[in-house]
Every structure is written in structure tokens, then in C-alpha cells.
Amino acid sequence: MKLPFFSRKNDKTIIQNPDENYIALDIGTEWLKSLLFSTDDFGINVKKVSRIQQQQSAMNKGIITNLSTVLENCRLTIDELNADLTPEQQSTKIVMGIAGEYVQGVSIIVNYERDERYDIDVDQSEQDRIINRVYEQIVATGKEDLAKRTGLLNDDIEILHITVTGMEIGGMSVDSLVGFKGKSVKLFFYASFAPKTFVESLKSLAQSLNMDLIGVVSQPFAIARAFAGARNKDFSSIFIDIGGGTTDIATVINGNVVDTQMFAFGGRVFTKEIAREMNLDYRHAESRKIKYTGDLLDKKIKKEVKTIMYQTSQTWMKCLKSALENTEDVQSFPTQVFLCGGGALLPEIKEVMIEFPWTRLLPFAAVPKINIFLPERLDGIKDLSGELKFAYDVTPSALAKFAYDKLKNPQNYYSK
């Protein structure tokens, strides 16, 4: 999506305090995952990790359906993170993630010509003026686009964040325009939107928890930006987060997030299929699925579960194909894929992806390489807790990374 220029609203700045603790909260369908972290000049220091299993009625397809239950779980996780800390050390600021089919994003490229001052270095005031003229029309255009996709009214849609993801001047990629000469300026933005009811439920949670909300973040965007090297101009990849209720996809091309897609098919569907095929209640089916991923079942039961997992994974793959077909502004997809989330632990997911005829059914120049995105590949995150080990730890860590970027460079972020 390419836009001309417009006017903007004032930024909200957040002062970064290197001694302050923060909380990143990933409210998942099956698990509520959170981190206590601080920041320094090098990035994030993760101090504690908390994981609390959600009740089956708490969430559905990534959406809060029982606010009181989720609120109680949030209180439990925050109490766990703040335990043994003095009142001064306890966190009062939180960043939350949001996902689901109605969470949408749009990539925007803005072209600008410096006709009168192109032979003079850009100063801070000019850069601010250039960037600041973007936001208002992005909000209006993005809401209109999401309304068309979802059938919601404009007034029922809320902006999550608009992020500056890249800058070029005179054809050269730069972190800042300041100090460079050139006539042609190109700015890359990514805007995320969600139904107002979803966002308000998270704001209500933060208020009930007596926490200041740093931001509500589109999870696939945060994940794509948190991978080490993902912002480099020579980096392209697809990130797939398979959660309990949804699968979230982010496509990165040349260091910029160009599209995000979500569909309501996650680990809970696999559990329900085990329950149905093996005549189990949900709790026992979930336990059996977890034991299967850990190779803890006896041979006969393992074989039966594997058949169910494979068939369900084939259905999931059809949904993934449909989501990729709806991706905009991509002529040819990247040839590497990174999986994270609890669903990434299911071996049949990777199996059906390897078997899929990518180049015949989708615009792939070659069969993509399928990788697992583990916390060790996160950018600028130091794990002091020693507990970030699994693919499902990537999402809360990515939310923390988003918060750090926003705290450090608030001028690159717009959020309400």
C-alpha cells in the first residue's frame, strides 16, 4: 500500500528508566505467559518467567470470553513475577499482545521529494516534520481497509500501533535521516488495527490490575521484528506462530514486515480431535497431546495419536495455504519459514509442511526451509532467568522487545 502525505497527531512519549521493571503479558488461549524484564543500552534483561494454564472457558480463538477468569489468572501471574521484590522494584507498567482473525495490519510506503533542501543535511526537526505528516491518513485509510475486510464499522475499529520500520534517502538505507543529504526519501511504516471491543477488554484488564499500559501489540508483527537480523535489508522470511486458538503469520521482505494474516486454527483443534477420536474429555486429551510431543506415550497409543495429529495437520496446512493466498503486495514469498508457539512442538506440522507442493500451488521460487524459532534467536534479549527455552516462549519475549523499542525510540511509534 502506497500513500502520499498528510497531517498527524502528537506523539505520546514514554520516558525510559533503566532501573525500572516491566511486564510482558501474552494472554494465550491455552496458556497465559508473562515475563518480568528491565532494560539497558544493550536491550532486555529477562528476570522472571511465569506460565499459567488457562481454563477452557477463559478464551476462544484468541479472544477473551470470560473476563473475570482471565483477570484472576493475570493477577496470579503478576503476583508470581513481583514476589520477593520490594514495592519500589515491583512493576507497574505492562505490554500486552493481541491476535486473532480480526486483528489486521497494513504495510505503507511513503515517497517524499526534498525539492528545495536536498543538498542540505536533514536535521532532527525536518525528520520529525516528515514523519509527523504521515499518521492521520494511515489511521483513516487503515480503518477503512479493515472495515471492508471484516464488515465492521469504522467506529468499531481501533489503531493498535503505527511503527516506522525503515528509512531510505537517496536510495541508501539508514536508521535515521538526520545528517544525510539527498532528494528522494522513502519511509516504511506498518500499521496494526483491531476491533475496539478486543482492545478495550485488554485496557480494562490493565486498569483492573492497576498497571500502566505501554501498548497493545499485534503479536505476529512483534514476533517478526524480534528475530535477530530480521530488520536487515537482506533478510526475508515467513514467521508462523501456532498458538492455542489461532495461527498468526507475518511475512518479512527485505527487512520490512509487509503483511500479517491470522486464522482461527491452533492447538486447541488438535486437542479436540484427540478427544473426539479417542473418546476422552478435553483435559485428558490435552494431557495426551502434551505427552505425545514429549514422546512419553506407549507405542500403541502413540501410533493412534500420530494418525490424528497428521490428519489434523493436513487440515491446518489447507488453512495456511488460504491465508498465504490472501497475502497482499507479495510477488514471490521468502524461501525460509520460522515456526514458534506451542503448536510448533507437534512434529506433524513440520511434516505436512515439508510434504506440501509449495512451488506448484503458491508463488514460491523454491521449496522453503522450515525452521523452529527458539528464544536463542531473539534479538537483544538476555535471559537472566534461564527459563526461556521453548518455541512458545518467543511470543512474550517479542512483546518485551516491542516495548523496549517503543521506550527507546518513542518517535517511531504511534499508539492510542
What confidence tens digit (pLDDT) does each residue in 318-333 have?
999 999 998 877 899 9
Selected residue with higher pLDDT from 195 and 220: 220
324 or 8, greater pLDDT:
324
Average pLDDT over every residue of 275-282? 96
- Are β-strands 381-383 and 43-53 bridged in parallel, bridged antiparallel, or unpaired? parallel
Other beta carbons within 10 angstroms of residue 193's beta carbon come to 28
Question: Exposed, middle or buried, 120 (CB in 10 Å: 0-12/13-18/19+)?
Answer: exposed
Q: What is the mean pLDDT of the chain?
A: 88
Per-residue pLDDT, 139: 67
pLDDT at 169 over 60: yes
Cα–Cα distance between 245 and 208 in angstroms, integer?
A: 24
Task: Identify the helix (H) or strand (E) that includes residue 319.
Answer: helix 299-325
Residues 6+ apart with CB under 8 A from 88: none
Percent over 90 (pLDDT), the chain: 57
Is the model's pLDDT at 64 over the cut of 90? no
Give the Cα separation of 406 and 100 in Å (integer): 23
The pLDDT-based confidence of 150 (bands split at 50, 70, 90) is: low
Which of 119-123, 226-230, 294-298, 382-386 is the least confident region?
119-123
User: Structure pTM?
Assistant: 0.89
